[in-house]
Amino acid sequence: MSLTKSLLLALLAVVALAGVSAERARYDNYRLYKANAENAEQLAVLKQLESSSDSILFLDGVHIVGADVKMVVAPHKVPDLLEILGKAEIKYLLQSSDVQKTMDETDEKVAIKGRAGEAYNWAQYYELDDTYAWLQTLAIENPGVVTLIEGGKTYQGRSILGVKITKSGKEKPGIFLEAGIHAREWIAPAAATYIINQLLTSEVEAVKQLAENYTWYVLPHANPDGYVYTHTTDRLWRKTRTPYQSCFGADPNRNWAFHWNEVGASSNPCSDTYAGPSAFSEIETLSLSNYLASLKGKIQLYISLHAYSQYLLYPYGHTGDLPDNVADFKKVYDVSIAAVNKRYGTTYTGGNIYDAIYPAAGASVDWAYGTQDVRMAFCYELRPSSNSFVTGFKLPAAQIVPASEELLDSIVAMAAEVNNLGYFN
């Protein structure tokens, strides 16, 4: 839906929201451990730990035997954790003895408000209202090409704001790009805004064709409340901000009504992978799904941006069974990861979600593919590789441009192959 002029003006106002002035979470003397369950019994121990205490923050899903699981552990909880791991004979490795210090050593370079005349750029990360103001400016400066869209609402009353780009002046096959559904994955919204800018300004012929041949719908922030919270209070926050018992938020990428909460999600409100009390319990996912449903038949390619691990993934997350058009998915996958490698030599791997990374039911990509007849749906897990926590969720700002450049290279190749296979016809 296009935003009215009055709503556009209203969005320019800064709204004081409850919780913004809260004390910022710090992780001084918290430890970072990497553990690995070698059998089902050990995996069950880690699963129980995941839901037992908010003093242990799991950075990875506890789903697969043999997969590394990283945990941020409060100082007072360390003796208990080590005793439990020891009794279960679970192998572990201390990766950082002071997570706050490790985080502080990573220069994310957040934009400082009030710099007169400084244009929106990709040398730094921006807060939500800065990006929204930039999107509004694009709509004003590009009439008939850029239209503001509202993909939904949030628990705290924010808009899920994005843009529709019709550079050819008429409707073309649709590509929908959603980013930032997990709040702490800052590189995803930054890459989404980079792509918006390139679609409007690039003189590279392949990118110009990408802009001319398709109607684009881009939502840089699918979880605005969570993103604001990562700036004001807790840099490692992942979920929405809906209150549930003594905890807050559900995982908005486990909350979609497609095989909801069957596997790879938690029923514990304190867990980072809490699926919510029901499918579409979160206004963010419910309202965004309603917007997507209004576009049914117009979207042929759905792209979701996440971080981190350098994966390219396609359905399904709830089962190891493969999509009926998996041969085409593999063709698109092959050309896309080849393209992402050309500029900087960055290596992506992947495949179907369930087998390539871990079981994860209730994701946006699966819902788009499974319910909206979007026959090509992909999830990118952007830089870096899974080997580093330091430059994981806190990817240095200096990497925004190269990470976004190689992503755009990949999307150019992806769209071309999807077109070759006839999905845009």
What H or E segment, with its residue span, contains residue 229? helix 224-232
CB 366 within 8 A of CB 258: yes
Torsion angles phi and psi, residue 248, rounded to 5: -130, 145
Residues recorded for the chain: 425
Cis, bond preceding 252 (omega within 30 deg of 0): no
- The number of CA neighbours under 13 Å toward the Cβ of 310 is 20
Give the angle 38-42-47 at the CA atoms, nearest 5°.
120
Fill in the amino acid letter for 411: I
- 235 CB-near residues (< 8 Å, 6+ apart): 25, 103, 184, 393, 394
Give 21: exposed, middle or buried? Use CB within 10 Å, 0-12, 13-18, 19+: exposed
- Give 248-266 as a DSSP string: E---TTS-SSSSTTSSS-B
Residues 332, 338, 341, 346, CA torsion sign: positive
- Give 72-106 as a DSSP string: EE-GGGHHHHHHHHHHTT-EEEEEES-HHHHHHTS
Cα–Cα distance measured from residue 105 to residue 226, given in angstroms and rounded to the nearest whole number: 23
Which residues are known catalytic residues?
Answer: 381
CB 397 within 8 A of CB 124: yes
The two beta strands, 56-58 and 31-36, are unpaired
DSSP code for 69: E
